[in-house]
Structures are given as C-alpha cells and as structure tokens.
C-alpha cells in the first residue's frame, strides 16, 4: 500500500463477495473523506480479490494500472450453462461429462492461449446503443456484442473434481473470464459456466498485500 499526502494513495483492497466495485470505492471514500477516489478495474459482484483503489493525485495512474496484465484463479462447472455465464442466473443442464478426461480438458484449455477474439457476456457493463448490456439482458433481450481481441497468456487447469475444474489464468486487459469459461464448455461440447472467481494480481500488485474493507478501516482506527 503506497500513500503520501502529495502523491495521493494506491490502496490494495481484497473485495468481498457480493460487493460491487463501487461499493468498495464508496466505503473507502467515506472512511478517508477523500472525494477524489476511484478504482482501477471492475470486479463483478460474484468475484473476490484484488481491487486497486486510487485517491488524490494517484488517480492519474488508473489507466496505466488498468492496462496491466491480470491473474485470476477460480472454478468452472462443466456440463451446464447459464445466461450470465456465472451464478447470477440459474444453471441449465447441457451434456453428460463422464467421458471427459484430465488430458482432454487441459488440451481444450490450451486452445485459448494466445491472441483470441472473445465475445463479452451479454450480462456485462458494455454499452449497446447507449444502454448497458446487462440492463437489456435482464429485460429478456439479447444485445449483440462485438468480439474483442484479447490475449490469454496462460490458462492452466490446476485441479479436477468433475463437474468442477480449478484454474489459473493470466491475461490482458479486457478479458472476460466468464466468457472464457463459457467458451471452454463450447469447445468441450458440454457447456460450462464460471462458478467462482478471484483476482490475484494486477501487474506487480498482489492480493497477498491487500486488505479487506474492514481491515482497512481498522488501520485508520489504530492510527488515529
């Protein structure tokens, strides 16, 4: 955690489950009484992990931080799909997965390593004709989203306990891990959705050095 009155502050926060990224910003702003507060890269409410909050003059660094490489860990549920590509919507069973082997799953994961064109989930904050895609999706509409060129630098399957596989991904800015989970299911022919997600790194910043909002509050209390 870096801070100074002149340079502002870069705060590493471990975002709790179900909190929005703005919930975190609002909490930090209220605790510190610093109006100029923003985050350097959204995390979905159902994701946890590293959220970088910048204050004061450090907000000028937000764009550089957003452009940095990201690392995530999490779990993917095979054999079912959801409209949101995660557990925000109800899973629908798709295909039997008993034929899948660890080797097959790992091989299909490797197909996504490199530069790929990825279509974001319709349940995303991307604007379509001036409206958020997730607002349209929640009304039962299907907004048409254009693919984006992103880079998957690593997609490692670290554990398998079917129907759930555990993974680690290193990727570029703009990557949707929910779409990666969905696309892996499409590649395997079984369907899949993102069951859990944790952001562990942004550039050189690690969640190992992050504080939960409550822990951050405690540091302010102890120093006052």
pLDDT in tens, 147-202: 899 999 999 999 999 999 999 999 999 999 999 999 999 999 999 999 999 999 99
79 plus 142 within the same structural domain: yes
> Smallest Cα–Cα separation from 19: which of 218, 216, 212?
212
> Smallest Cα–Cα separation from 46: which of 13, 85, 81?
85
pLDDT tens-digit profile of 110-136?
A: 999 999 999 888 776 677 667 776 676
190 plus 89 within the same structural domain: yes
100 plus 121 within the same structural domain: yes
Residue 55: CATH number of its domain: 3.30.2350.10
pLDDT at 143 over 50: yes
87 plus 142 within the same structural domain: yes
78 plus 123 within the same structural domain: yes
pLDDT at 2 over 60: no
3-state SS string for the chain: CEEECCCEEEEEEEECCCCCHHHHHHHHHHHHCCCCEEECCCCCCCEEEEEEEEEHHHHHHHHHHHCCCEEEEEEEEECEECCCCCCCCCCEECCCCCCCCHHHHHHHHHCCCEEEEECCCCCCCCEECCEEHHHHHHCCCCCCCCCEEEEEEEEEEEEEECCEEEEEEEECCCCCHHHHHHHHHHHHCCCEEEEEEEEEEECCEEHHHCECHHHHHHHHHHHC
Question: What global pTM score does this model have?
Answer: 0.91
Handedness of CA 13, 18, 22, 25 (dihedral sign): negative
87 plus 198 within the same structural domain: yes
107 plus 57 within the same structural domain: no
113 plus 37 within the same structural domain: no
33 plus 127 within the same structural domain: no
Annotation marks residue 44 as catalytic: yes
What is the extent of the structural domain holding 145? 70-202
125 plus 42 within the same structural domain: no
Mean pLDDT of 68-85: 96
Q: How many domains does the chain have?
A: 2
8 plus 89 within the same structural domain: no
Q: Name 136's Cβ contacts closer than 8 Å, sequence gap at least 6.
A: 122, 128, 142, 143
Q: Which of 6, 14, 23, 44 is catalytic?
A: 44
120 plus 176 within the same structural domain: yes
């Amino acid at each position: 955690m870096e801070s100074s009155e002149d340079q502002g502050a870069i705060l590493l926060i471990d975002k709790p489950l179900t909190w929005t990224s703005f919930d975190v910003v609002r909490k930090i702003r209220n605790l510190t009484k610093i109006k100029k507060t923003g985050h350097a890269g959204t995390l979905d409410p159902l994701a946890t992990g590293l959220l970088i909050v910048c204050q004061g003059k450090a907000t000028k660094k937000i764009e550089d931080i957003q452009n940095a490489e990201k690392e995530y860990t999490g779990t993917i549920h095979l054999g079912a799909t959801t409209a949101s590509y995660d557990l925000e919507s109800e899973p629908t069973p798709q295909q039997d997965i008993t034929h899948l082997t660890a080797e097959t799953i790992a091989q299909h994961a490797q197909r996504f390593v490199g530069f790929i064109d990825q279509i974001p989930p319709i349940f995303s904050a991307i604007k379509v004709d001036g409206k958020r895609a997730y607002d349209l999706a929640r009304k039962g509409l299907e907004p048409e989203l254009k693919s984006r060129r992103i880079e998957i630098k690593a997609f490692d399957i670290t554990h398998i306990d079917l129907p759930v596989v555990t993974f680690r991904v290193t990727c570029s800015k703009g990557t949707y891990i929910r779409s990666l989970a969905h696309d892996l299911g499409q590649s395997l022919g079984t369907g899949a959705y993102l069951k859990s997600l944790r952001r562990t790194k942004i550039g050189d910043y690690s969640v190992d050095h992050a504080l939960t909002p409550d822990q951050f509050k405690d540091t302010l209390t102890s120093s006052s």
